[in-house]
Structure 1
Amino acid sequence: MGIGMFFFGLAFMGGWAAAAVALVYAAVTLVRVWPEDWMRRDGHPVARLLVPAPAYLRFDVALAVTAFLADLWLVSMALVFGADGVFTEDWMGYPGMMDPTGQGYQAGVVSALRSTAWWTFGLAVLGRCWITAGVQVGVLPLAAWWIGTFDTYYTT
C-alpha cells in the first residue's frame, strides 16, 4: 500500500472524529463571542458588512478549520471506497478485483464533491464566513478535479 493511501486511510478512519472535535470547538467559540459585536460600528456600511468584527473572525477561522477537516474526511472516504476495485492509481497499491458496480462511482464522487462545495460555499457566504467560503471553494473543487483525473478500470 502506498504512503498516500495510508494517509487517506488514516484520514478516513479518524477524520470524522477530528471534524467533530473542531465542530464542538467552533460551537464553543460561537457561544463565547455571541454577546460581542458581530459587525464593526465605524466605517462605511459596506465595509462593516464585509469586514467582520474580531470576535466573529475568530468564529470564522474555527469554522474554516472544521470545514477543512470535514472536506479531508469526505475526500478520504471517496478514495478509500474507490480504491477497492475502481481506481487504478499506482500510489494506491493493488486495487483488487474489478468491481462492475463501480462504473459510475468516479462520476458520482466528482458530482457529489462539486455539489457539496457550492452548497457549503453558498451557506458560508450567507453567514458572512468569508474564510470558510474560501476553504470550501478551494478544497472540494480541486479534490473533485483530482479524483476526476484518476484512471479507472472503465476508462483505461
Structure 2
Amino acid sequence: MGLVMLFFGLCFMGGWAAAIGALVYAVVTLVRIWPRDWVRHDGHLAVRLLVPTPVYVRLDVALAVLAFLVDLWLVSAAIVFGSDGVFTEDWMGYPGMTDPSGQGYQAGVVHALRTMAWWTSGIAVLCRCWITAGVQVCVLPLAAWWIGSFDTYYT
C-alpha cells in the first residue's frame, strides 16, 4: 500500500473526529461572538456589506477550517471506497477489478464534489463568509478534477 493511500485511509478513518472538533470550535466561536456587532456601522453601504467586522472574520476562519476538514474527509472517503476495484492508480494497492458495479462511481463522485462546491460556496457568499467560499471553490473542484483524472477499469 502506498504512502499516499495510507494518508487518505487515515484521513478517512480519523477525519470525522477532526471535523467534529472543528464543528465544536465553530459553534463555540459563534456563541462567543453572538452578542457582538456582525456588521460595520460606519462607512459606505458597500464597505459595510463587503468588509465584515473582525469578530465575524473569526467565525469565517473557523467555518473555513471546518469546511476544509469536511472536504478532506469527503475526498478521502471517495478515494478509499474507489480503491476497492474502481481506480487503477499505482499507489492504491491491489490493481485487480473487484467491483463490477462501479462503472458510474467516478463520474458520480466528480459530479457530487462539483455540486457540493457550488452549493456550499454559494451559501457562504450569501452569508458573507468570503474565506469559506474561497476554500470551497478552490478545494472541491480541484479534488473533483484530480479524481476525474484517475484511470478506471471501465474507461
Structure 2 Cα separation of the partners of residues 98 and 65 of structure 1: 36
Give the equivalent residue in structure 2 for 1:74: 74
Q: Is residue 86–residue 95 contact of structure 1 (8 Å, CA) maintained in 2?
A: no
Give the aligned residue type for 2:43.
G
Correspondence for 1:100: 100
Q: Any unmatched runs of 5+ in structure 2?
A: none
Task: Classify the secondary structure of the residue corresponding to 1:99.
Answer: coil
Aligned residues: 155
Q: Per-residue displacement from partner, 1:19-43 (whole Å, max 9, x unpaired)?
A: 0110110010001001111011221
Aligned to 2:122: 122
* Structure 1 stretches lacking a partner, 5+ long: none
Contact conserved, 1:98 with 1:153, CA < 8 A, in 2? no
SS at match of 1:46: helix
Q: Which residue of 1 aligns with 2:48?
A: 48
Aligned partners of 1:100 and 1:74: how far apart in 2?
23
Could you report, residue by residue, the CA deviation over 1:51-110 in whole angstroms, capped at 9, with x for unpaired residues? 100000000000000000000000000000000000000111224433110010000000
The aligned runs of 1:6-85 (5 Å cut-off) are 6-85=6-85
CA RMSD of aligned residues (A): 0.8
Per the alignment, residue 110 of structure 2 pairs with: 110
Q: Deviations over 1:95-126 (max 9, x none)?
A: 44331100100000000000111110111011
2:147 is the counterpart of 1:147: yes
Counting aligned pairs with the same residue, the percent is 79
TM-score, with structure 1 as normaliser: 0.97
Deviation at 1:137, TM superposition (A): 0.5
Contact 1:86 1:102 in 2 (8 A): yes
Give the letter for the 1:129 counterpart: C
CA distance in 1, matches of 2:95, 2:143: 20
Q: Are 2:135 and 1:135 aligned?
A: yes
**After alignment, is 134-143 or 93-102 more displaced?**
93-102
In 1, Cα distance between the equivalents of 2:47 and 2:91? Answer: 47
Q: CA deviation at 1:146?
A: 0.3
TM-score, with length taken from structure 2? 0.98
Cα distance in 1 between the residues matched to 2:36 and 2:45: 18
Supply the distance in 1 between the matched residues of 2:111 and 2:95 (Cα, whole angstroms): 22
